[in-house]
Structure 1
Amino acid sequence: MISQNTISQVFETARVEEVIGDFVQLKKAGSNFKGLSPFSDERTPSFMVSPVKQIWKDFSTGKGGNAVTFLMEHEHFTYPEAIKYLAKKYNIEVEETQRTDEEKARADERESLYLVSEFANTYFQNVLHKTDQGKAIGLSYFKERGFTEDTIKKFQLGYALDEWQAFTDEALKKGYNIEFLEKTGLTIVKENKRFDRFKGRVMFPIHSMSGRILGFGGRILGNDKKAAKYLNSPESDIYHKSKVLYGLYFAKQTIAKQDNCYLVEGYTDVIQFYQTGIKNVVSSSGTALTPEQIRLINRLTNNITVLFDGDEAGIRASLRGIDLILEQGMNVKVCMFPDGEDPDSFAKSNTLTDLSDYLTEHAKDFIQFKASLLARESKNDPIKKAETIRDIVNSISKIPDQIKREVYIQECSKIMDISEEVLFSTLAQIHKKDYQDANKKYRQEQKAFEVVKNEEYAKPKVDVQYELERKIIEILMLYGDRTEQFEDLVLKEDEVSGDLIMEPTIQKARVFEKIYLDLQEDEMMFSNEKFRELYYSIIDKLNQEEEFSTRDFINQLDQDAASTITGILMEDEKYGIDDWERYQILPKKKTDTLDQLVSQTVLSLRCFLIENKVEELKNNILKDNVDTKTIMEDVKDYNDLKSLLSKKLGKVIGSYVTK
């Protein structure tokens, strides 16, 4: 187990904006940061990070928390894994106490798969660097490719011995379970026989965005025509190839910083580019590009440059991936290398300056690239030219932004020498067909189940008590330890007329004391159990400490409670997503009228609960064997109290509006 001292150091040191910035491109929005949600498919930012409060909130999914909960949500880390990741990031030494056998047994299956994969990664590296076969075959191959020792170690490249059971035997000898060796695909089990999946191959470990080993790619070096040139780990609970990009772990920070991502095809393309000095490069690892992979890039940048070698057949196949990128609303450029060259060979034979200059000079906008490519194929054939134009317009139709679509139509018109009117008409036909297809699919889905239209569901009722209790938690968290001057109205007898009148008095108090004492007057309890527990925890903390730390309080909560608090605290921050100050619209700050806000919220809750109590008493009158007279007296007392509170509330609201 990790010591409490280490955990405390991690929480004190880790900056939520720095941690999340490794996974999401964040842009300044007032005192906060905003970005695209890493948990949903969206094109407009709904993800907020507060450096002041050291919390984050994803308004598209409702998730929220601190740096640790982000890693638990995004990387599916356990709590100890998240702490260790942050300790490594901030160079904090991890102090651990000895785990019992029972605690070891509780390690879940997912963690076991990670541990097996980490062991395999270390094993393959040791074979490469410390065995005769590894050095003679694997290391020689990497050096022939031009990879330096530093690069080989950076990407943790390895070698699998050309033996049937070398890895499996070593893993079992070290105590790893055959069940997890098989589930990661590292070991194949057939009819009580077990052998290594990777044999006689150089190994490329595939990392998650946080650096954990998910799987492997292995390249064969022999001349066995029956064996696949490249072999990847099979799908598992931790490895889904459609959701992973090779090299993203090493490239993510440079992608965000340079606001562009180079997309190549193979492992060696990535490594050679990185070694030359172009570090914002990733690969789909030879698989067809998927929407999930594109969204990984879109979290970091809105710009992709796709790099092709001179193989036109491969280019045609890859053009489908460009349409997928366009659908995500991203900007796409395409760069082709000279005949006989690919990203790997070109980077190997050029300096960083030459490579950078080539990419800058030859990267074309996708429409120019696609038009020139297809135009060469169609040449003087009118029918092929018509098909080419429709193909290009079809790509343009994928772009969600209307202005971009129009600009590309104009560009296509110039390149293909055809009127804009015809292209816009073709675009409209494509959109009409897409709409009809979508509508048809929708109708088919509707037939599968009965739709019940209910006005009550269409207009959900607002849970007034829930909202007021939530607001009180928010006030306590943000302003509980502040001292304010509160105006109250006290009933006094008029010395002249003898009538009861409400006389204003000023009372100086800390916000949490004011709330606690006012709620105690009616002996009220929060109806929401989660809010009730948080309320008493916050009051207790504020009573004990002179200075209340929101960050420390959240860090001590369990994940569910921390998420609830984060959602409450970040509610107002979502308006910062739209950056209203840019339009000279300055929302009124709560702190400008904090005394009124506190009084209004507490009085509203008290009035609401009194109304409920009155209704409950009235319903009791209808029951048998009840003291009707006593109930009616209680109803009168509560109504008198409600009348008094309503007058106070009216006074507060009036001050709040005019202030």
Structure 2
Amino acid sequence: MRINPETVERIKHAADIVEVVGDYVALKKRGANYTACCPFHNEKTPSFNVNPARQIYKCFGCGAAGDPVKFVMDIDGIGYGEALRYLAQKYSIEIQEERLTDEQEQRQNERESLFIVLNFAKNFFEDQLLTTEEGQSIGLSYFRERGFNDTTRKKFELGYSPEAWDALAQAALAKGYSAEILEKAGLFIPREGSATGGYDRFRSRVIFPIHSVAGKVIAFGARIMKTDSAAKGHQPKYLNSPETAVYHKSEVLYGIFQAKNAIRQADVCYLVEGYTDVVSLHQAGIENVVASSGTSLTVEQIRLIGRFTPNVTILYDGDAAGLKAALRGLDLVLEEGLNVSIVTFPPGEDPDSYVRLIGTEAFKDYLRKSARDFITFKTTTLLADAGEDPFRKAAVIGEVVGSIVRIPDAIQRQIFFHKIAEMMRVDEQMLISEGNKLLRKQKETRPNTQSGKNEKSELNGPNDVAVGEVENRQEPVLAPTVKVLQRDPVVQHEQECIRLLINFASFELEPTVSLCHYMLSELTGVEFRQPLYKHVLTVFRESFSRGEIPETDYFVNHPDPDIRSEAIDLVTTRHLLSDQWKDKYEIFVPTELDKLHDLAFTNILRLKKGYNELAMQEIREQLQKTKDEAETNLLLHQFMTHKNIEKEIANLLGSVIS
């Protein structure tokens, strides 16, 4: 089924760019707009801009840009139709659909099918938990023993998978889902040597659905319920969905959908190990908590947390040996610019058991008092293990310095060098020297990166822009399909003409004379060199000939992705003037509207000057090639004509021509 055009327009009209982006990224208001670190590429300084007036977003680092629908498509890696359905659900818009042809039905997106069947499975597991005798006696009783109430159970959509070999598969097949899509979703395992037989992946287990940031079910975690040792001997206690087209465990955090708003508000994310830790803390009122689902913390998971807060507190409940192994992996968090703290619990306790033991307020107080920054915690832990052995102490110094140099902020590095020097009673300058040696080695092993950033040249943004490039680029990056010669001065003046037209075409320079009227009159007979700008200028000319002036939104929402991307670039301002200039200091700074006529006049003159210089350069080249006297005299005459034009333009611009 396809969403009809009227419904599409209702969805686009209802979707608010600030709300949509804010579901995924922590936005900060800056003037009339909002800013954040870009979710599409790795950066430390915010270059991601959200414009509520235009209902668009733009990253000045990687070039990502678009409207609410495009943002959802890029952030979740989904198709246009699926993004529209997500927004329709978010804004409670009833979808009116049109039937597709049989051929279109067959080509229906596999990802959408996976989401549909995963949601069916989630509903099946919930129904089994609440309505069947087996589910109530085993699954529901387990959740109640853990102290989970009905509100918490519904919030996390907990369920139960029955012991039968293929209960889910039979229910899904009866509803028309294929065995192939069940297998691709990680729900069904076909029996070897059988064309039709197989069994459910999850059996006799309580189910913890895993959600994407947008709230879609993408996988499941399941805990075994059988208590006899024979049954448990060959089955893991916890079982997760395999990797699928919609689930990549290294990029997902359990509970992120339920926790994202609380993380933004508290400006800290608590990271735990297990599903039940997350659920239990949520029920206790501590909602800014997620779990890594039993996997080692990955760069992708760290960056996911970094969308919402730079502060991470890891609640660790393992033994000493496991803690030391975990400490080595946390350097990744430092490298991403996050502030890391560690909290450990008394022997035999974990976040779930401890919050139930001492209560919510005491637990919060314990976290505040027990949290130690990662560098200090690591130093204390390793020193205690080294004892008085000088060789082991030296190894500790090397390991701690290795962690400090991972911190991208130079001021923070300096503070930690000073603190660790005092803790270890060693010379601070010696630590700094060792750190500098490590930094030099890192640069030597990363010759292809800029400023020592990003060891890989992997592509992180929706426009496939390399991370190593974007962090050091000064100008906005255009979508790769837009062939704009940014260094060509003539093309830059063409771009400025188009920018003025897209932003201010209908503004009147004087009564009855719009900017569009003025610029098109001045550009009569001029043909732009850059194809995209030439096309946009033609749109203005054709519209004006019909008595119409295209508005900014026409280009920002244009169906041609090249025009849409370029328009968003040209209407988005990276820097905004503070209101304090006028309100506090009473300093008046003229805006573009105040000097619009001069901007248009000057740019058109510079554009014509550029074309004139190109013509003169072409004549010079012809003069070098010709040996005919008559042709030479003609070319010289033409050259002098263009030289006079150059002088006229220079006089108008106030330039000096030699």
TM-score normalized by the length of structure 2? 0.84
Write the mapping of 1:166-205 to structure 2, written as runs, cut at 5 A: 166-189=167-190, 190-192=192-194, 193-205=197-209
Counterpart of 1:651 in structure 2 is: 652
AA of the residue aligned to 2:552: T
1:387 CA displacement = 2.7
SS at 1:590 equivalent: coil
Which whole-Å deviations, capped at 9, do the CAs of 1:467-523 have from their partners, x for residues lacking one? 2232222111111110014xxxxxxxxxxxxxxxxxxxxx96101111222222x2x
User: How far off its partner does 1:645 sit?
Assistant: 7.5
Give yes or no for contact 1:270–1:283 (8 Å, CA) kept in 2.
yes
Indicate yes or no: 2:606 matched with 1:604: yes
Residue 557 (structure 1) shift: 2.7
> For residue 267 of structure 1, what is the amino acid of its counterpart?
Y
CA distance in 2, matches of 1:581, 1:168: 66
Cα distance in 1, alignment partners of residues 516 and 544 from structure 2: 7
Matched, 1:359 2:367: yes
Secondary structure in 2 matching 1:574: coil
Q: CA deviation at 1:560?
A: 3.9
Matches within 5 A, 1:143-222: 143-189=144-190, 190-192=192-194, 193-222=197-226
Q: 1:544 to 1:155 in 2, by over 3 A?
A: farther
Q: AA paired with 2:497?
A: I
Q: 1:595-648: CA deviations, max 9, x gaps? A: 121122233334444555677789899999xxx99x998996897588458625
User: What corresponds to 2:472 in structure 1?
Assistant: none
Any residues of structure 2 matched to 1:103-122 within 5 Å, and which? 103-122=104-123
After superposition, what is the alpha-carbon deviation per residue over 1:318-377, rounded to whole angstroms, capped at 9, x for unaligned? 212321111111111111122211011122334332222221121112233223322332
Residue 498 (structure 2) aligned to one of 453, 469, 473: 473
1:408/1:368 CA distance change after superposition, 3 Å? same
Alpha carbons of structure 1 residues 437 and 526: separation in structure 2 relative to 1, 3 Å: closer
Structure 1 residue 154, shift from structure 2 partner: 1.0
Give me the whole-angstrom Cα distance separating, in 2, the residues matched to 1:81 and 1:635: 64
Distance 1:383 1:117, change over 3 A: same
Stretch deviating more after TM superposition (636-645 or 395-404): 636-645
- Following superposition, the deviation at residue 99 of structure 1 comes to 3.5
Q: In 2, distance between residues paired with 1:242 and 1:174?
A: 32
- Give the CA deviation at 1:80: 2.1
Is residue 464 from structure 1 mapped to residue 489 from structure 2 by the alignment? Answer: yes
Q: Distance in 1 between matches of 2:383 and 2:597?
A: 71
Give the Cα–Cα distance (whole angstroms) in 1 for the partners of residues 372 and 307 of structure 2. 23
Q: Contact 2:609–2:649 (CA<8 Å) still a contact in 1?
A: no
Q: Distance in 2 between matches of 1:586 and 1:37?
A: 33
SS at match of 2:330: helix
Equivalence for 2:556: 554
Distance change >3 Å, CA 519–CA 251, structure 1 → 2: same
Matched, 1:385 2:418: no
d(CA) in 1 for partners of 2:59, 2:367: 36
Is 1:513 equivalent to 2:497 in the alignment? no
Secondary structure of residue in 2 paired with 1:33: strand
Task: Identify the residue that residue 501 of structure 1 maps to in structure 2.
Answer: none
Please say which of residues 3-12 and 511-520 is displaced more in the overlay.
3-12
In structure 1, what residue type is equivalent to 2:502?
M
Asked if 1:289 is matched to 2:289, the reply is: no
1:498 alignment partner in structure 2: none
Partner of 1:448: none
Alignment of 1:536-555 (within 5 A): 536-538=538-540, 549-551=551-553, 553-555=555-557
Alignment of 1:271-290 (within 5 A): 271-290=279-298
Match of 2:314 in 1: 306
**Matched residues in 2 for 1:383 and 1:179: separation?**
59
Contact 2:139 2:160 in 1 (8 A): yes
CA shift at 1:247, angstroms?
0.9
What residue is the counterpart of 1:63 in the other structure? Answer: 64
Alpha-carbon spacing, 1:162–1:421, altered in 2? closer, same or farther (3 Å): same
Q: Tell me: CA distance 1:158–1:580, structure 2 relative to 1, closer, same or farther (3 Å).
A: same
Over the residues paired in the alignment, what is the CA RMSD in angstroms? 3.5
Unmatched 5+ stretches in structure 1: 446-459, 486-506, 655-659
Match of 1:237 in 2: 245
Q: What is the deviation of 1:155?
A: 0.9
Q: Distance in 2 between matches of 1:612 and 1:308?
A: 68
Q: Say which of 247, 251, 274 aligns to 2:259.
A: 251
The verdict on how the C-alpha distance between 1:342 and 1:563 changes in structure 2, with shifts beyond 3 A counting, is: same
The offset of 1:263, in angstroms, is 0.7
SS at match of 2:189: strand
Counterpart in the other structure of 2:467:
none
- 1:374: which partner in 2? 382
Seen in structure 2, the aligned counterparts of structure 1 residues 578 and 186 have a Cα distance that, compared at 3 Å, is: farther
SS in 2 for 1:566: helix
Counterpart in the other structure of 1:327: 335
Instruction: Give the Å deviation of 1:204.
Output: 1.3
Q: What secondary structure sits across from 2:97 in the alignment?
A: coil
TM-score normalised to the size of structure 1? 0.84
Per the alignment, do residues 649 and 69 of structure 1 end up closer, same or farther by CA in structure 2, a change over 3 Å counting? farther
**Other structure's SS at 2:35 match:** strand
CA distance in 1, matches of 2:181, 2:145: 35
**1:149-172 deviation per Cα after TM superposition (whole angstroms, max 9, x unaligned):** 111111111222212222222222
**1:75 counterpart = 2:83:** no
CA separation of 1:622 and 1:372: change in aligned 2, threshold 3 A: closer
User: Would you say the 8 A contact 2:250–2:298 is kept in 1?
Assistant: yes
Corresponding residue number in structure 2 for 1:482: 507
| Contact persistence 1:188–1:197 (CA under 8 A) | yes
* Partner SS state of residue 203, structure 2: coil
In the other structure, the counterpart of 1:494 is: none
CA distance in 2, matches of 1:73, 1:581: 38
1-side partners of 2:579 and 2:331: how far apart?
A: 31
Write the distance in 2 (CA, Å) between the matches of 1:4 and 1:440. 48
Q: Report whether the alignment pairs 1:534 with 2:536.
A: yes
Q: Quick one: structure 1 residues 608 and 426, their matched pair in 2 at CA, closer, same or farther if it must change by over 3 Å?
A: closer
Output the CA distance in 2 between the equivalents of 1:509 and 1:515.
Answer: 10
Deviation at 1:306, TM superposition (A): 0.7
Secondary structure of the equivalent of 2:39? coil
| Secondary structure of the structure 1 residue equivalent to 2:509 | strand
Q: Which residue of 1 aligns with 2:570?
A: 568
Give CA deviations for 1:186-220 in whole Å, capped at 9, x if unaligned: 21223224222111111111111111222111111
Give distance in 1, aligned partners of 2:448 and 2:564.
44
- In structure 2, C-alpha distance between the alignment counterparts of 1:116 and 1:560, rounded to whole Å: 35
CA deviation string 1:36-59 (max 9, x = no partner): 111112212221112222211112
Alignment CA distance shift 1:154-1:643 (3 Å): farther
Equivalent residues in 2 for 1:394-405, closer than 5 Å: 394-405=402-413
**What amino acid maps onto 1:211 in structure 2?**
G
Identify the range of structure 1 (284-293 vs 181-190) with the bigger mean alpha-carbon deviation. 181-190
Contact 1:607/1:642 (8 A) holds in 2: no
Which residue identity is paired with 2:233?
K
CA distance in 2, matches of 1:295, 1:119: 30
Deviation larger for 545-554 or 632-641:
632-641
CA distance in structure 1 between the partners assigned to 2:343 and 2:356 by the alignment: 17
Compared CA separation, residues 364 and 231, structure 1 to 2 (3 A): same
Q: Counterpart of 2:367 in structure 1: which amino acid?
A: L
Kept in 1: contact 2:222–2:239 (CA 8 A): yes
